[in-house]
Amino acid sequence: MHIETITTHPYNDQNPGTSGLRKKVKVFQQPGYLENFVQAIFDSLDGFTGKTLVLGGDGRYFNRPAIQIIIKMAAANGFGELIIGQGGLLSTPAASHIIRKYNAFGGLILSASHNPGGPDEDFGIKYNVSNGGPAPEKDTNAFYQRSLVIDSYKTAHIEDIDLDRIGTHQIDNLSITIVDPVTDYAELMQSIFDFNLLKQSIGSGYITLLFDAMHAITGPYAKRILVDMLGATPDSVINAEPLEDFGGHHPDPNLAHAQELAERMFGSAPPVFGAASDGDGDRNMITGSHIFVTPSDSLAIMAANAHLIPAYTQGLRGVARSMPTSQAVDRVAACYNIPCYETPTGWKFFGNLLDAGKITLCGEESFGTGSDHVREKDGLWAVLFWLNLIAKKRQSVADIVNEHWQKFGRDIYCRHDYEAVEMDSANGIVEHLRNQLLTLPGQTFGEYTVKYADEFSYEDPIDGSISSNQGIRIGFENGSRIIFRLSGTGTVGATLRIYLERFEADASKHDQDAQMALAELINLAEQFCEIKKRTGRTEPNVVT
């Protein structure tokens, strides 16, 4: 194997966000751009010579050529084995599982998650460590610092690998194994859920379902598990073929983007259960007949009912949520006297808690839930969890939600996303909010009296690391909250996310529309941050 060292020059914009490096495809196609970042990762890691690297992605545009580039670089840098999903495909949770199952050194996942795909759209890459989870901040900071001074990268002169043929290729000391991307993951799901009960409930017609794969990675997984293994009808899985541009759609599982699913679930004669997943398969949207379940409620309901799922019958060690996620799961944890942790946004913050055995379930309001079975959020796992609950409780989605609210109360909640805000304007809004933090506590606005106003900082209880500047919080005496945060998942400008939450204990008021119930908080949010005045935006791009 001939190895060549190629001279390059650094790029100054390779700082990974909450989920890796995400840029437009054309940025990644610049000479040496992808190679620089991959080499920066390899240069920052120790002890991988002869070890195993897992590789795969969500199938978006540039996935295949990027994988061929990385194969050659991994070979040149001394990895001993590569495990690659057939066709270059691996969902993010499946990649996490394969890293863990085969004791890999780590993995590279090629995805920009829920962002659009295509020649003019987005691409991304992130490194996952040996526990199967995203690299922690100390590693991503090291990748970035190395990228700023990198002057060369290594590549091997080998032929492109046939990614579509399952089997093992041997090139000198390097073993390259192409695996079915679904098999290992499907076996894991069988070990967690009651597939016999699910098969009986679906086969008898008690559960009818509709799953929207959004022309993204979960199509093959959903067809294998829901249709082939559990007996759902083939038309229960729609938009099932992974496409490089996701069919021209935005693969973000919410009511705004999963329109075909939403129309069916809120139309005449809907199925009992509906769900969708995103580009790389780690997010989920849960719906029932004429009901949408917020991700915050979904996490809380899972926690309250986990004992009904075979893998969790012994109870939960603890739960965790990201700071902007509603406090609904906190109420479940308090009721059952189990620990509840509040972390910054980003799945990597759950990793230490999971590895230390402090928690079993965790989730984010951004349509992500997961457990200790992998170290990523997991869309299809959440779908199977809900299907197992419906089959076990013999209740509709709406009945399960309403029963939960009756017991714990309802955290009325929504998120307003202002996408592609000009960076200077976005930073100006945050600075404007920071300037109010000292003076807001004690002030009263209608029925809302400010209890606290701060910028969230997190000290990891396992390793003691500090993560600062994780979002502006304004909390009120009645338990309501407004949170402002700049998201790190976009590729153009900044996405300002405003989270609004109000607790309602009165069961007679649980059915009220969230936007109506939160109207005063929405007005207060504008008063505090002035996004309309500062950006000219009249309304958010997406409301979830």
Residues 283-342 pLDDT 10s: 999 999 999 999 999 999 999 999 999 999 999 999 999 999 999 999 999 999 999 999
Mapping DSSP to helix (H, G, I), strand (E, B) and coil, where does residue 282 land? coil
Q: Determine the Cα–Cα distance for residues 412 and 397; give it in Å rounded to an integer.
A: 17
Q: Which helix (H) or strand (E) holds 414?
A: strand 410-421
Closest by alpha carbon to 346, among 368, 331, 327?
368
What sign does the dihedral 91-105-349-489 (CA atoms) show?
Answer: negative
pLDDT recorded at residue 491: 56
Residue 481 has pLDDT above 80, yes or no: yes
Residue 231 has pLDDT above 90, yes or no: yes
Q: Which helix (H) or strand (E) holds 108?
A: strand 106-110
Q: In the structure encoding, which two tokens stand for residue 329, read together?
A: 């799961």
- Contact partners, residue 328, CB within 8 Å, separation at least 6: 296, 297, 299, 300, 408, 410, 411, 413
User: Residues 179-213: pLDDT tens digits?
Assistant: 999 999 999 999 999 999 999 999 999 999 999 99
Residue 378 has pLDDT above 90, yes or no: yes
pLDDT recorded at residue 458: 95
**Position 29 confidence tier, pLDDT thresholds 50, 70, 90:** very high
**Position 53 confidence tier, pLDDT thresholds 50, 70, 90:** very high
Closest by alpha carbon to 515, among 215, 181, 292, 228?
292
What is the value of pTM for the model shown? Answer: 0.94
Q: In the structure encoding, which two tokens stand for residue 117, read together?
A: 């795909």
Domains and CATH numbers, the chain: 2-180 (3.40.120.10), 185-408 (3.40.120.10), 410-543 (3.30.310.50)
Q: What is the largest CA-CA distance in the chain?
A: 73
pLDDT recorded at residue 489: 55
Q: Determine the Cα–Cα distance for residues 341 and 353; give it in Å rounded to an integer.
A: 9
pLDDT recorded at residue 488: 58
pLDDT recorded at residue 235: 97
- Give catalytic residues, as residue numbers: 113
pLDDT recorded at residue 346: 85
